[in-house]
Amino acid sequence: MSEMLDRLLQEKIVAIFRGIEDKDADRSAQALIDGGITMMEITLNTEGATVMINRWREKFGGRAAIGAGTVLDLDMAKEAAAAGAQFLISPNLDESVVAYGRERGISVWPGVTTPTEIVRAWKAGADAVKLFPLGTLGWKYLAEIRAPLNHIPMIATGGVNLDNIADYFQAGACAVGMGGKLVDLEWIRNGQFQLLTERARKFSDAVKKL
């Protein structure tokens, strides 16, 4: 098992930073770390993403795992790796990204929806997959998919909140990816970092009970 997958299975939550401004990034990451969430994904469609990934590796490297999200193709994977990303997450499956990650010891968790895509990703060498978009499909879809494919670790992304997070894990998720329900950009813009910490602690406490 890869070190990052091992960490994912222990921590169970990946915080997704999309569209955050550079000036607010460090305080936001610190707020989540203070609340007990230490796996951070910065999506590459965020302006200055690679600069932030690189800086967070230096600043938070001992306390947090820093990865890149929305890694759509090989060029983006190379860009993320050069910035120091420790894991790569995509909304899609590109086998060349999986192969690149395996060559360099970087965990790749590609985005999949159907059983065919899940098995393709697994055969390509992904050590986990991101089941997406579950905001529409929900945890019941995850439970159905897991029945025949329970040997493949699945990260549930989309639709997870405090009320249903236990349902996703009971349905078989190994972890969840959380964006706006956790990384609230309005709070960040308003400088309400203590609210981020409080929210992070609630989610962190919720998964510890599972």
- Catalytically annotated residues: 41, 130
Residue 208 structure tokens:
């510890």
| Residue 72 contacts residue 89 (beta carbons within 8 Å) | no
For 36-88, what is the HEC assignment? CCCEEEEECCCCCHHHHHHHHHHHHCCCCEEEEECCCCHHHHHHHHHHCCCEE
Scored b (16 or more CB within 10 A) or e, 6-39 reads: ebbeebbbbbbbbebeeebbeebbbbbbebbbbb
Beta bridge partners of 62: none
Residue 154 structure tokens:
């699945």
